[in-house]
Chains A and B, each alone.
Chain A
Amino acid sequence: MEFSYDDEQNGLREAVRGLLGRAYADSEQRRAVVATDPGFDEKTWNRLAEMGLLGLPFAESDGGMGAGPVEVSIVAEEIGRVLAPEPFVETVVLAGGLVSDLGTDAQRAEVLGALAEGSLVPVFAHTEIGARWEPTARSVTATEDGGAWRLTGVKEPVPHGARADLLVVSAVADGATRLFLVQGDAEGLTRSGYRMHDGTRAAKVAFAGTPAQPLGDAGTDQAAAIEKAQARARVAYGHEALGAMETALTTTAEYLKTRKQFGVPLSKFQALTFRAADMYVSLELARSTVMWATLVVDADGDVVTAADRARLQVSRAGRHIGKEAIQLHGGIGVTAEYSVGHYTSRLTALDHLLGDGDWALARLARSVDQHETVDALG
């Protein structure tokens, strides 16, 4: 059991922090970027690509860097630290992860190579209205006619679904859930994008007999692979949330030191400092769990359960820290002109994109009687 980063990993963190720190030195820069479509900065996106971050976990033969989940987690944390709106986890971990896991040689080379270069934004179109965080598709269907596949139905909300150049779409085919690639300019594809409360974008994506290419082997049910890719994304989002929670806490602590009321800094009030201390406790417990979950991903252990454990801990911590960060600031915390509320907003989105805390708890509760104890060292 070892929780420290090596020199190369620390170097990676410094480099990413430098890049994103320049791009989003203050929250006004982020506000300006998310004010216009696509809700992130294409120039920053290209710089992330130039640094090799968009190909980080993919095999070198697919155009990637051959790095592991620990490196991915470092980037996700730095994304969260400044609320960079660039879709790193959505593209690299989720959509890219599915293509990396399931794609044919040609699909991997084409999609992952272009993603790594920054010239292709792929996203996973999976959520359907009426479904909650399941690995299966329900209402979008896929039909085959003479070897050509077509999709029909609606996915929504799809993060960055309007900007995406390529959609990885889950659909029901012969009662099974399968994955398909749909080009952004495909016929019969209509997309209407909108803002999420956190400033980033999502879309309604409608398919009307839209041509699609099966991802990998079209003959198998791919729900288990979706579950696993989503689990890895839950862990990566956990790191994004850690970065965001850390900034929310340090911003709050700084505010308590500088803001004066009743003639003294707020840090003189124990009622406030104790609550900040509790935020720190939540943050560190979440950090330990998420770091551990990343190590489980790295070791290819029970990734789904580890992700549920991380999701539960981060959900509780994110809500606690997000709510307290605003309350300890007072009125300024709910303005769009000040940074801290945006952190709470993003934490709220991260809490609901791939499963919230109660959802993860319900899954963990179902199997609670199947083990005597949870062994961290096992």
Chain B
Amino acid sequence: MAVSVDPASVASTDLHALDEPRVIDPGLARADRVFRQVARSIGLSMLVLILAIGAFIGYQAIPTLRAYGLDFFTESAWQPELNRIGVSGALVGTIEIALIALFFGIPFAWASALFISEYAPPKLKSAVVSLVDLMAAIPGLVFGLWGFFLLQPHAIDLSRWLSQHLGWFPLFKVNTDADAAMWAQSRYTSSAFIAGIAVSMMVIPYACSVMRGVFAQAPIGEREAALALGATRWGVIRAVVLPFGRRGVIGGTMLALGRALGETVAVLLIISPTFEIKFNVIEVGTMTISALIAGRFGEASAGQLSALLAAGFVLFVLTLGVNAVAAVFVNRSRSGSITEA
């Protein structure tokens, strides 16, 4: 006997209501549960460690920020014995040196990245890529030595030339007679300018390797399409590589900035400490926050340590912001994301 059943009526009867598909989910195997727990706890401990550091530094900075308030950000002197403490001088110096480093470093990093990805002979390419990565691993200390002992004697000539010809511009002003026959060389040494060049040496390989990575990912089909349409090599770069790699250039620059802001030893070796807000960058004396910390922690009392930690906190927030912006640009083209497709 054929019975035609209306599905809706069946579903509504009590008898069939129980007839739903069982959920087939045995849960995870025990090994997996353990694995996940262990992995999660390792990840958590890393998280806790990092948050603890951030919280600790922030917490330690509170007394200082409470005691000095906004003065901490406007005062430029660092004279704990006179109860005058502020980071503005060091903050300005930090930013100046980082910007000088980018000014010299990024064009070279950009050109080197293009050279490697577009111009280098294919046989040389992987060797040059390794070399750049190796350069990125060279300690900042080496560039500090290089900057102070090799670069400085030559760079002060450039500094003098700048102050002679562009001295009317506040950045290049030096408070001495640049045209004197016996010119005061010591007025041009240990400046933010020279420290910036040394830091730029660290920035070049770092930024170059980020940019090269993105340039290399420019789609080959579009490159060859451009070539087939008669583009020159520069035409390919301008029409395909650069638009595709724009994120890499911006992100690499920001990452380099983050690195330049935090560099300690190369700067510490070169500069002579001065605690003032100073814009004439080629004149002797400047200060950065990291150099301040490395130079002053030794004789610091508990209160001064808190002040140093507060200064460090300011630096941390600064680099964090810069790197967060960089991450937005770089992570879009995160390596390996394609393989997950």
Does A pair with B?
Answer: no
- B residues bordering A, Cβ < 8 Å? none
- A residues bordering B, Cβ < 8 Å? none
